[in-house]
Copies of this chain bind each other. A is one copy, B any other.
Amino acid sequence: MSVTGPAGFVAAGGAIGIKAGGVADLAVVATADGRPVPAAGVFTANLAPAAPVQVSREHLVSTGGMAAAVVITSGNANAATGPAGRAAAAGLCQVVAEGIGAEEPEVLVGQTGLIGVPFPYDDVIGAVGPVVAERGPDEAHASMAARAILTTDTVTKEARVERPGFSLGAMAKGAAMLAPNLATMLAVITTDARLGPADLRRALVAAVGPSFNSLTVDGCTSTNDTVFLLASGATGAVDPPAFEEALSAVCASLAYQMAADAEGASKVVRIRVTGAASEADAHQAARRVAESQLVKCSLNGEDPYWGRLVSELGTAGVAFDPDRVTISYGGIAVCAGGVEIVHDEAAVRAHMARRDIDVLCQLGLGEGEGAVLTTDLGHGYIDENRTTS
């Protein structure tokens, strides 16, 4: 049921002709009655934000954090498209607003695809209304919406969490450019809990830190990254800590699903750093290791080449003493005090052959801890990204 699981939401997905061959490229998630509810958004930190990011930010400001719908298109990022791109993003909101009986600023918009290609507004806008008119509350509609937002993803990403008195549902896309501060990832999360815009925003910012913002595939931060959260309030008030826990579970699930479906990746790797001088150091070191092309090649080759980890830790820009570091794969220490130690090589090999790999770097300096989720680097990533055609 994903986004339509929580009470009070409907969804639709269909094709409007951005992608060739009638492939689904438009998704809408709306309140069942078309009335605005508390909403929050978290966006890319890229200084060249796409038109939909600019428009959605303005809409959330002008409504004071309320929204009646989210519209997402795939196949064209509508980024680096200038004033025409902004008009197109606003136009999509306007047409969806008309379809559900809301106002344009009450609709949020996300888009994903190639950067720098003019959005074919005139060719597709006429097809939006009919898709919106087909919206519904059942699983089939939610699934169509989840499919319509995909680009190079191979599978849909959906999540559902039920807790006493409330629930959350979510859909997301993202298979590359998953990096510092979001990714070309788009996510829509719905809940039937009742929270105000400020509480929603606080909970969302807290939840994206250890999930989407601790996920990196290639270190690139997209122009389009967006996470939306809408709260219908249908099931009444909720305890904020309980809501934050559930929201974090949803975000963690989506982040894992994105790593597992990353372009050309064969491994999902958790890089943990403990014993850092500070928590910030731990995160920075984990990210440095996770984004190292050389480390990612070793992971692709299932090679526990711990020397590369030490080398990356030494250039992470954090406090580091090679004589104190311990490196473990799957809980088996291979290096201690900065040099190789006798270890069960067969057990390490077996761990490296798994799809999910755990790497632990203990710095021996303090109490700082952090973790980043990443992938290996294989031929598939290059094949996917070498040309846009």
B-contacting residues of A (Cβ < 8 Å)? 45-49, 77, 79-82, 114-118, 176-177, 180, 218-223, 291-294, 297-298, 300-303, 305-308, 310-315, 320-323, 335, 337-340, 377-379, 381-382, 385-389
Which of B47, B116, B306, B315 is the one whose CB lies under 8 Å from A314? B47
Q: Are A80 and B339 in contact (CB under 8 A)?
A: yes
Considering only CB atoms, which chain B residue lies closest to A317 in the complex? B47
Q: Are B220 and A311 in contact (CB under 8 A)?
A: yes
- Tell me the minimal C-beta distance from A336 to chain B in angstroms: 11
Distance between Cα atoms of A306 and B81 in the complex (Å): 12
Q: Are B320 and A48 in contact (CB under 8 A)?
A: yes
Q: Are B48 and A294 in contact (CB under 8 A)?
A: no
- Tell me the minimal C-beta distance from A109 to chain B in angstroms: 18
Which of B80, B293, B338, B378 is the one whose CB lies under 8 Å from A80? B338
Query: Which of A82, A118, A311 has the most C-beta atoms of chain B within 10 angstroms of its own C-beta?
Result: A311
Distance between Cα atoms of A335 and B82 in the complex (Å): 11
Q: A322-B80, A386-B297 are in contact. Are A48 and B338 (CB under 8 A)?
A: yes
- Tell me the minimal C-beta distance from A36 to chain B in angstroms: 31
Distance between Cα atoms of A109 and B340 in the complex (Å): 23
Q: Are B387 and A293 in contact (CB under 8 A)?
A: no
Q: Are B292 and A322 in contact (CB under 8 A)?
A: no
List the number of copies, as a whole number. Answer: 2
Q: What are 25 A-B residue pairs whose CB atoms fall within 8 Å in the complex?
A: A47-B314, A48-B310, A48-B311, A48-B320, A48-B322, A79-B310, A80-B310, A80-B339, A82-B339, A115-B305, A115-B310, A116-B310, A116-B335, A177-B294, A218-B292, A218-B293, A218-B294, A223-B314, A293-B377, A293-B381, A298-B385, A298-B387, A300-B382, A305-B387, A382-B382
Which of B45, B308, B379 is the one whose CB lies under 8 Å from A315? B45
> Cβ of A222: which chain B residues have Cβ within 8 Å of it?
311
Q: A47-B315, A294-B220, A338-B82 are in contact. Are A307 and B77 (CB under 8 A)?
A: yes
Distance between Cα atoms of A385 and B312 in the complex (Å): 15
> Cβ of A314: which chain B residues have Cβ within 8 Å of it?
46-49, 221, 223
Q: Are A381 and B223 in contact (CB under 8 A)?
A: no
Query: Which of A47, A49, A322, A340 has the most C-beta atoms of chain B within 10 angstroms of its own C-beta?
Result: A47
> Cβ of A176: which chain B residues have Cβ within 8 Å of it?
294
> Cβ of A301: which chain B residues have Cβ within 8 Å of it?
385-387
Distance between Cα atoms of A305 and B301 in the complex (Å): 29
Q: Are B378 and A382 in contact (CB under 8 A)?
A: yes
Considering only CB atoms, which chain B residue lies closest to A315 in the complex? B221
Q: Are A81 and B339 in contact (CB under 8 A)?
A: yes
- Tell me the minimal C-beta distance from A233 to chain B in angstroms: 36
Distance between Cα atoms of A339 and B116 in the complex (Å): 6
Q: Are B300 and A79 in contact (CB under 8 A)?
A: no
Considering only CB atoms, which chain B residue lies closest to A220 in the complex? B294
> Cβ of A339: which chain B residues have Cβ within 8 Å of it?
80-82, 116
Distance between Cα atoms of A305 and B388 in the complex (Å): 7
Q: Are B300 and A219 in contact (CB under 8 A)?
A: no
Give 7 new A-B contacts, CB below 8 A, not counting A82-B337, A303-B389: A80-B339, A82-B338, A116-B305, A116-B310, A116-B335, A177-B294, A382-B382
